[in-house]
Amino acid sequence: MTKKELAIASYCNTAWAPHLAALILLIIDNCQKKDILFHFFVLDIQLTDTDRQMLKTIVSIKREKASIEFLTIDNHLVRRTDQELSKVANARILLPALLKNQSTEKILYLDCDMIALEDISELWAVDFSGHVISAVEDASFHHPSIEVDLPIKTLLCFDSGAIVVDVLKWNQLGITKKVLENIKRYPNKLECHDQEALNVVLYNQWYRLHSKWNVQTYILNKTKRHPTFIGEKEYREARKRPYIIHYSGQPKPWQPAFQHPSKNYYELYTTQVKSLLRLLENLVG
């Protein structure tokens, strides 16, 4: 049976490796479709050999449903500026450029501080043709397009923690270059360089997804209300049945200060990751 390959990418360093392992396991386990093969691209930010082996091991357990590949960010892809971004911040900006010579047409980028509770393969059925990406509105309602004085103002801003990218269209329009140029142009106005610069460039080229696909901490904790009735209704739906929970901001669910009930989801799968790794160690030993 020919399988449909779905590409997913995340940046990862040693600190984030256990959390990415949990996310990968969740994504695989929540998809029951037999014709789907997930291909995970890991943007390697100084992972150790042990980290890579752990991630490979988790995927190998589910090898009939997933594969994994590690990508490195070449320094020549980034022009040096007075405030050069870290490789972590560059990761999602450079991702489509890294895939230019591959057959990947559409890819889902996910931050590591997320857990997937539903079948995310449904995202590939969303038609966002005419747009470069699809994403969820930023629940903090921070609008960088206004701060940097774009000629066209917008009250909509997306959270870049979960974005589906049309790789071909992104590269054709030179989005990576434009984003990096805006970071250089507004070094003192963009607090979260990559997300804000992405919004500046893509302010009219993104398709809005339901909030259930990126249930940010603001939504979970009811920290902020949506300014519209329809938006608030969507928040209620997202809290009732979240597809992807994004532990944005601080604290994180692996820190003692985090007390929201959604911590249980995270702990369940990190425990499974540890159990699987122990089992494999015993079998090998």
Q: What are the pLDDT digits (tens) for 68-115? A: 999 987 655 554 443 344 555 677 888 998 898 788 999 999 999 999
Strands 158-166 and 106-110: antiparallel
Full domain range(s) for residue 269:
4-284
Q: How many domains does the chain have?
A: 1
Q: What is the CATH number of the domain that holds 252?
A: 3.90.550.10
Q: Which helix (H) or strand (E) holds 146?
A: helix 144-147
Phi and psi for 126 in degrees, rounded to 5? -75, 125
Which pLDDT does position 265 carry in this prediction?
Answer: 78
**Reported pTM:** 0.89
What residue ranges of the chain have pLDDT lower than 70? 1, 74-89, 141-155, 186-193, 276-277, 279-285
pLDDT digits (tens, 9 = 90+) for 211-237: 999 999 989 888 888 888 999 999 999
